[in-house]
Amino acid sequence: MSTARTSDLWWKNAVVYCLDVETYLDSDGDGCGDVEGLIERIDYLAGIGVSCLWLMPFYPSPNRDDGYDITDFYAVDPRLGSLGDVVTLIRTATDRGMRVIIDLVVNHTSDQHPWFKSSRRSKTSPHRNWYVWRDEPPAEPTADVVFPDAEDSIWTKDDKTGQWYLHHFYSHQPDLNIAHPAVREEVAKIAGFWLELGVSGFRVDAVPYLIETGGVPGDVDLDPHGFLKDLRAFMSRRRGDSVLLGEVNLPPRPLRAFFGDDQGDELQLLFGFPVMQAMYLALARRDARPLAEALEANPPIPPDCQWATFVRNHDELTLDQLSDDERQEVFDAFGPEPGMQLYGRGLRRRLPPMLDGDQQRMRMVYSLLFSLPGTPVLFYGEEIGMGENLDIEGRMSVRSPMQWTDEPTAGFSQAPPSKLRRPLPEGRFGPLAVNVTQQRRDTDSLMSWMERVIRRRRETPELGWGEATVLSTSEPAVLAHRSDWEDGSVVAVHNLGDEPCIVDIELACDPHSTLVDLLDSGVATHPVAGDRLELQLERYGYRWFRVQPPSGRSAP
């Protein structure tokens, strides 16, 4: 049967969970999470049904961009643990059936990295060309600054040699010169190092900036995508089942290019930024059509590749691909106060407060996450419905400590609350109200619900492997889609509206089929009338069905 085919391309049916070691669990009471703490929670993660951990950067860093400013790619920040601890973590996760991928942040380094210190020392330094230097910044910049609150140019003058260096992000994050062969070799060496220690691949940070060579002086004869092809080929030689998950926030067509050619020879997984942004517009309007259109606008992808779907990540909820009016609609619905917004393009909030804690609506959104075509990626704390802490600056508002218990430090640390790496939120979404301990004792909690849905998702490979089709429905608020794989079909239906409805769906399947409910709607089977389905949905209702042909074998 089909299930046997799913393990080689494991990323097509994975459940990924992103976390930052320093905000997960503090084992030694210094207020900062650490690798030993995370190891204590490996069984918790395996129990939820997570199959792949994505660790945010844990490398030595001055921490001016939460660890995305790295000073040594081959080491572990001593505040978090040792290299030995990380290998033990990978070993323990592997034993529990979970893979580990880590952030590969090689668009830039910290300005404190020894390479940059050497580079800026003189124009003849051996590391000079590891970064991008110019006598004058170009009259026409090739890109906008990513952090408009902190920077007004992607070029900064360095007094020592009087030249300017390129940095797409903060000026303390100089861009590496990927056109330089030595830099490319070093990137492969970094990837090879971590593969050797047991990771299954990388979440590649800021990929379009990484391969952008427009700022490199002189005539550079370089195919930017060639770098990704080379990296991918290198990784496959070292470890055949390794994966590259790319952060590429671009519209569907240019985004598709990062999968590579028809066979897919670049990044196997790409975050589906266009669908994610359209989903928020659809939620704000309580109208499924923007989401349906975004799904239909996705070009076909190579067979080994997959979208990575997500509701929230560790950055702002970027809405930069929406029009100004559309973005304003989402702001009005989910983040009307200026303090909730960031860089004029996004929201620095988690989902539950945006939905005012509406459990039914939250579950509908996560049901979408687990059933839309792609590999679901959770951000830590989503399984219990954590909120943000807007008192924490900028993007960090959503990176408060994991809430384990209802204690003042949320069971995250033995340190006094004032010593925590970041302050916890208070009130409705604080640890008193939202924590793991309480939710695991309650079969109706979001966490218990999510465990069941993840289990079902893992048992439903059609969703990860199938070809998805948006079905036409009689209600604009309702999204229905079908995923077909080999002999199986699964249909998912979501009511984005806050009114109950009766919806008529064109199923286009064998008219004698039965629909077997895969979640816990209470109704086990639904007859199909002709090739249509009439379904009664509550407000924000959702259903998953397996289409069972008359002679089909039933599954539990």
- Minimal distance in Å, beta carbon 170 to ligand TEU? 8
Q: Which is nearer to ligand TEU, 349 or 481 (CB)?
A: 349
The catalytic residue among 20, 69, 205, 484 is: 205
Q: Which is nearer to ligand TEU, 314 or 452 (CB)?
A: 314
Distance CA 354, CA 235 (A): 40
- Minimal distance in Å, beta carbon 395 to ligand TEU? 6
* From 110-118, 281-289, 310-318, 548-556, span contacting ligand TEU (CB under 6 A): 310-318
Distance CA 406, CA 486 (A): 47
Distance CA 366, CA 243 (A): 24
Total interface residues for ligand TEU by CB under 6 A: 14
Tokens of 114: 């020894």
- Minimal distance in Å, beta carbon 43 to ligand TEU? 28
The catalytic residue among 69, 111, 247, 388 is: 247
Interface with ligand TEU, residue 286, by CB under 6 A: no
Beta strands in 20-171 (DSSP E): 52-55, 99-104, 133-134, 155-158, 163-166
- Residue environment code for 388-422, b if the CB has 16+ CB neighbours within 10 A, otherwise e: bbbebeebbbbbbbbbbebbebbbbbebeeeebbb
The binding track of 130-159 with respect to ligand TEU, each residue x by CB under 6 A or -, is ----------------x-------------
* From 127-135, 315-323, 400-408, 433-441, span contacting ligand TEU (CB under 6 A): 315-323
Figure out which of the listed residues 206, 282, 294, 305 binds ligand TEU, where binding follows CB under 6 A.
Answer: 206
Q: Which is nearer to ligand TEU, 65 or 151 (CB)?
A: 65
Q: Which is nearer to ligand TEU, 52 or 248 (CB)?
A: 248
- Minimal distance in Å, beta carbon 247 to ligand TEU? 6
Figure out which of the listed residues 28, 196, 293, 320 binds ligand TEU, where binding follows CB under 6 A.
Answer: 320
Helices (H) and strands (E) in the chain, counts: 16, 22
Cβ neighbours of 175 (radius 10 Å):
23
Question: Contacts with ligand TEU in 56-75 (CB under 6 A)?
Answer: 65, 68
Is residue 185 annotated as a catalytic residue, yes or no?
A: no
Cβ neighbours of 150 (radius 10 Å):
14
Is residue 196 annotated as a catalytic residue, yes or no?
A: no
Figure out which of the listed residues 36, 175, 205, 326 binds ligand TEU, where binding follows CB under 6 A.
Answer: 205
Which among 304, 309, 310 is positioned nearest to 350, based on CA atoms?
310
- Minimal distance in Å, beta carbon 56 to ligand TEU? 8
Interface with ligand TEU, residue 265, by CB under 6 A: no
Residue in the shown chain whose Cβ atom is closest to ligand TEU: 68
Interface with ligand TEU, residue 20, by CB under 6 A: no
- Minimal distance in Å, beta carbon 346 to ligand TEU? 7
DSSP state of 244: E
Q: Which is nearer to ligand TEU, 61 or 460 (CB)?
A: 61
Distance CA 422, CA 408 (A): 13
Beta strands in 334-448 (DSSP E): 341-342, 346-347, 375-379
- Minimal distance in Å, beta carbon 347 to ligand TEU? 12
The binding track of 226-255 with respect to ligand TEU, each residue x by CB under 6 A or -, is ---------------------x-x------
Let me know if 223 is exposed, middle or buried by CB neighbors in 10 A (0-12, 13-18, 19+).
exposed
Q: Which is nearer to ligand TEU, 79 or 345 (CB)?
A: 345
DSSP string, 124-152: T-TTGGGB-EESS--SS-SS--S-TTT-S
Residues in the chain: 556
Figure out which of the listed residues 19, 32, 80, 105 binds ligand TEU, where binding follows CB under 6 A.
Answer: 105
Let me know if 302 is exposed, middle or buried by CB neighbors in 10 A (0-12, 13-18, 19+).
middle
Q: In Å, how far from its chain's centre is CA 421?
A: 23
Interface with ligand TEU, residue 310, by CB under 6 A: no
- Angstrom CA distances, 49 to 52, 376, 518, stand at 9, 12, 17
Q: Which is nearer to ligand TEU, 315 or 506 (CB)?
A: 315
Interface contacts to ligand TEU, rule CB under 6 A: 65, 68, 105, 146, 169, 205-206, 247, 249, 314-315, 318, 320, 345
Residues belonging to the active site: 205, 247
